[in-house]
Structure 1
Amino acid sequence: MTDSSAYRVDTTSRLAQWRIDSLASCTYRKSDPFKMGNWNWHLSVEKNRVLSIKLYPEISNLTRDNPPIASFIIRVVCSLGDRKPLVHPGITNKQIKSNDDFVWVIDTQLTGKCIIDVEFLDLKISSPNGGEPCSIWAEESTRRRSNATALACLSRMLSESIHTDITINASNGSIVAHRAVLATRSPVFRSMFSHDLKEKELSTIDITDMSIEACQAFLNYIYGNIQQDEFLTHRLALLRAADKYDISDLKEACHESLLEDIDTKNVLERLQNASLYQLPRLKSSCMRYLVKFGKVFDIRDDFNAFLQCADRDLIAEIFHEILATWKGF
């Protein structure tokens, strides 16, 4: 067994196994972290007059705030002797925060290669309202299934125009949707439908600054059914819509995406949008790309044209960045 694998714990489903090459020579050994449920875990062995095995979660904010309540069976199988596994009586619903919360002391002499096998029966966290602890596996499985079903139903409602009650007029076409869904996702839409505005009275919304294709992408995002290529194609239109209709998660998704592929062809447009829609990380990244990495010299003509029409405060920020960078040389 190589040094790199000597501390590795293999996992599959709810089972973890640590293979130790020589228990006889072991005084203390701690495994690498391994993932089970929401937590990273460690196993450790200490051999003096007796053998002590510990299982505990890695210290983290998650462990402190939501320590695991574990049910598991732990076994030790050695290559020498009668090879009959030693099996712990089992742990049920034990909260484990530190490396002293579960210690298995074995006074039987064990030598040679061995496998420490941990079968996790359940992992729970304390209920926030003081009720019974909740199984993370049962909760996750139920939530995933419920979410998938709900999103599929929402998608069908839009794609098949099931009981639609609002028409959206884009610049080159119209599309139908549902007031309740739009109002749930956007406080601006909710306000439109709650007051005596023309959108409520006529059951229409005019979004003439978006094409029908961008508007479809916007609705697909709202209904949880947008495709990645569709999102990338309409990022800037989606950013404008997210800002206009106060959909913060879409705005942040666009912000994150626009940070990923800045180049000389798009940096000035993105800098302008970062300033317009108050995206500080995008603005900072564009500034660094232009100034610190010297790309402003590669697009000198475009940059000069940009300066003729850009916001004065933004121009001042650019020149401040240039002066600060040159001062450092």
Structure 2
Amino acid sequence: MNNNNNNTDLVDSMYRVETISRFAQWKILNFPSCTYRKSDPFNISIWNWYLSVERNRVSCIKLYPQISKHNLPIASFIIRLLSSAGDHKSLAHSETREKLLSNTEDFVWLIETPLPGKFIIDIEFLDLKISCPKGGGDPFSIWPNRSMLQRSNAANLESLGRMLTEGIHTDITIHACDGSIGAHRAVLAARSPVFRSMFSYNLMEKDLSTINISDMPIEACQAFLYYLYGNLKHEEFMMHRLALLHAADKYDICDLREACHESLLQDIDENNVLDRLQHAWLYQLPNLKLGCMQYLVKFGKIFYIQHDFTAFLQSAHRDLISQLFHQVLDACQGL
């Protein structure tokens, strides 16, 4: 009686795939030549899966989900073939990413080397996506992943933005040249070392709970705060770039400074090039300065803005004018 039970357990173990979390493992302890074996179904996430192994002229391993007309998986996984020796040495390795799997379009891994009599098939599922979600739309992962984390971070930023726009427990008032807005010391101090210093020492800003930003209109000041709180819209950024550059330089916010620098470099034209060149000089933006000079000299646009250029010569710093004329002389010598 015991022998029959042992034999039954042994037969069951030949087809059983062990699973835990995102891992599946099939131990094959006796696989004779010229044969085929298919596993029992095993569950990973919302699907039941099968493995099969066949040894013929070319050995192959297959992985496929149970027959289903809906919600076919798009799988990203690593599959390995290991020896059953104590060191579990890997004999071969294959990796598949973003592959749609079905009972007819399964994963087939052809193995050139001879299969041993004892081996282990080890699968690590990296991600599983539903290919045909109800109502259409793009495939989405059924596991918490980076995209879900990004959505969570976006929700957190939205909540932080609401603290500003709805005035939730503000504890400091910012006075612009034409209006005022409430804000939070902790947020300002975390984003700017200048603000942090204001609130750390016995300065007027700490005692009166106010900050005067009289060199910015209220709309630009709001855009500045929206950036610090993580909810500045693109059109607002584009509208107030120069004011934001000034604020970034004044309050030592390096990421905003670089964002403005890169953006101002992307849309230089005849109407703004001289103004951009002045700002590049004032705020020490080397790439913007070089881009403006190349636009004026290398592309010859300096000849199309003679009236504006005359006004520029009267107001620009003499060192900047000198550098520009050196660019002109170098270009003439290269002709």
TM range (shorter): 0.5 to 0.7
CA offset at residue 145 of structure 1?
A: 3.0
Partners of 2:151 and 2:314 lie apart in 1 by 54
Answering whether residue 290 of structure 2 is matched by residue 284 of structure 1, we say yes
Q: Which residue of the partner structure matches residue 303 of structure 2? A: 297
CA offset at residue 228 of structure 1?
A: 1.2
Q: How does 1:12-91 map to 2 (within 5 A)?
A: 91=79
Q: Which one of the candidate residues 79, 84, 102 is aligned to 2:94?
A: 102
Partners of 2:322 and 2:124 lie apart in 1 by 60
CA offset at residue 301 of structure 1?
A: 1.6
Answering whether residue 227 of structure 2 is matched by residue 214 of structure 1, we say no
CA offset at residue 229 of structure 1?
A: 1.2
- Residue identity opposite 2:213 in structure 1: I
Structure 1: runs of 5+ lacking an equivalent? 1-48, 54-72, 76-88, 95-99, 109-118, 124-136
CA offset at residue 231 of structure 1?
A: 0.9
Q: Which one of the candidate residues 111, 125, 129 is aligned to 1:121?
A: 125
Distance 1:314 1:107, change over 3 A: closer
Q: Which one of the candidate residues 156, 181, 192 is aligned to 1:150?
A: 156
Q: Which one of the candidate residues 202, 209, 212 is aligned to 1:203?
A: 209
CA offset at residue 327 of structure 1?
A: 1.1
CA offset at residue 269 of structure 1?
A: 0.4
Q: Which one of the candidate residues 172, 181, 190 is aligned to 1:166?
A: 172
CA root-mean-square deviation:
2.8
- Residue identity opposite 1:121 in structure 2: F
Give per-residue Cα distances to partners, 1:29-79, cap 9 Å, x unaligned: xxxxxxxxxxxxxxxxxxxx85899xxxxxxxxxxxxxxxxxxx767xxxx
- Residue identity opposite 1:91 in structure 2: I
Partners of 1:90 and 1:262 lie apart in 2 by 48
Partner of 1:284, secondary structure, is helix
Partners of 1:180 and 1:150 lie apart in 2 by 16
Partner of 2:226, secondary structure, is helix
CA offset at residue 292 of structure 1?
A: 0.6
Partners of 2:326 and 2:311 lie apart in 1 by 19
CA offset at residue 221 of structure 1?
A: 0.7
Conserved in 2, the CA contact under 8 Å of 1:166 and 1:179?
yes
Q: Which one of the candidate residues 241, 254, 258 is aligned to 1:252?
A: 258
Give per-residue Cα distances to partners, 1:252-300, cap 9 Å, x unaligned: 1111111111111100000000011111111111000000111111111
Give per-residue Cα distances to partners, 1:134-185, cap 9 Å, x unaligned: xxx7451453133112101111100110000000000001011000000000
Conserved in 1, the CA contact under 8 Å of 2:223 and 2:232?
yes
- Residue identity opposite 2:154 in structure 1: A
Moved beyond 6 Å, runs of 4+:
none
Q: Which residue of the partner structure matches residue 18 of structure 2? A: none
Partner of 2:266, secondary structure, is coil
Answer with 1 or 2: which has the greater Rg.
2
Partner of 1:102, secondary structure, is strand
Conserved in 2, the CA contact under 8 Å of 1:168 and 1:206?
yes
Conserved in 2, the CA contact under 8 Å of 1:74 and 1:90?
no
Answering whether residue 306 of structure 2 is matched by residue 314 of structure 1, we say no
Distance 1:101 1:90, change over 3 A: closer
- Residue identity opposite 2:94 in structure 1: F
Q: Which residue of the partner structure matches residue 268 of structure 2? A: 262
Partners of 1:51 and 1:145 lie apart in 2 by 44
Partners of 2:187 and 2:81 lie apart in 1 by 41
Return the TM-score normalized by structure 2. 0.61
Identity score, percent: 62
Conserved in 1, the CA contact under 8 Å of 2:79 and 2:124?
no
Conserved in 1, the CA contact under 8 Å of 2:177 and 2:216?
yes
Q: Which one of the candidate residues 156, 168, 177 is aligned to 2:183?
A: 177
Partners of 1:93 and 1:313 lie apart in 2 by 69
Q: Which one of the candidate residues 256, 271, 275 is aligned to 2:277?
A: 271
